[in-house]
Structure 1
Amino acid sequence: MKAQIKAEIRDANMAYLNMAQSFIQKDLQSAVKILGMSQDAAEIIKTLSESQKTSIADSDILLCRFGVSDDVVWKLLTSHPAPKPEAEHAKRLLADILLAGRLAVAA
């Protein structure tokens, strides 16, 4: 694996671990649902030390994944050219509804 890609994976992993840990510490139940992990996993992440996070982040495995894998949602989120504000709001609302449905099914 190229050194630059490995460094980018490490940076992404560290950012994800820091965000997840902060979120879990503030609101465990919401974090578990939104991050798509078990409460046991969340409890482990909640107590990770900086050295443990650094060690975990340094793996070749990307810890997070895109929560959106639906082409329709991506097309709504990235529509071009820039639509009128009302149309943008409607498209964003539709994307949010589709994503909420995915989260509800996953839970």
Structure 2
Amino acid sequence: MSQQTEQILAEIREANLSYLMLAQNLIRADRAEALFRLGISEETADMIAVLSPAQIMRVASGNTLLCRFRMDDDLVWGLLTNHGKTAANDATSRLHASILMAGRHQEAA
């Protein structure tokens, strides 16, 4: 395995660990907000909430990234990146993107 591949896998494990720790903290602090912000189901939240530190380390150590981009369409990406727009429209665009993603979260639930 090349050094570059090893580095990428180490970064994936680090991202997984950070994501699981953040997810668990969000779920424990405010479950409803966590479901929305993370875009996860009730069942997934239940599993993440009860993971022990050893279980988190074991799950995070895989070579597959656990989190994924929720903005999987051009409209949301365009709103978030504001290509060619002024700063005045930034807040409005981000709000619009949040509304779209919230609607999609509701549809998935």
Q: Is the aligned partner of 1:96 residue 2:101?
A: no
Match of 1:24 among 27, 36, 55: 27
Counterparts of 2:19 and 2:42 in 1: how far apart (Å)? Answer: 17
1:38-66 CA-to-partner distances (Å, cap 9, x unmatched) read: 43332221122222111111101111111
Counterparts of 1:41 and 1:98 in 2: how far apart (Å)? Answer: 22
SS in structure 1 at match of 2:21 = helix
Q: Percent identity?
A: 45
TM-score scaled by structure 2? 0.81
Query: Aligned-residue CA RMSD in angstroms?
Result: 2.0
TM-score scaled by structure 1? 0.82
Flag structure 2 segments of 5+ consecutive residues without an equivalent.
none
**Shift of residue 97 of structure 1?**
2.1
Flag structure 1 segments of 5+ consecutive residues without an equivalent.
none
Counterparts of 1:40 and 1:101 in 2: how far apart (Å)? Answer: 20
Q: Size of the alignment, in residue pairs?
A: 106
Counterparts of 1:84 and 1:29 in 2: how far apart (Å)? Answer: 31
Match of 1:66 among 56, 65, 69: 69
Counterparts of 2:87 and 2:44 in 1: how far apart (Å)? Answer: 43
1:58-86 CA-to-partner distances (Å, cap 9, x unmatched) read: 1011111111101111111112346142x
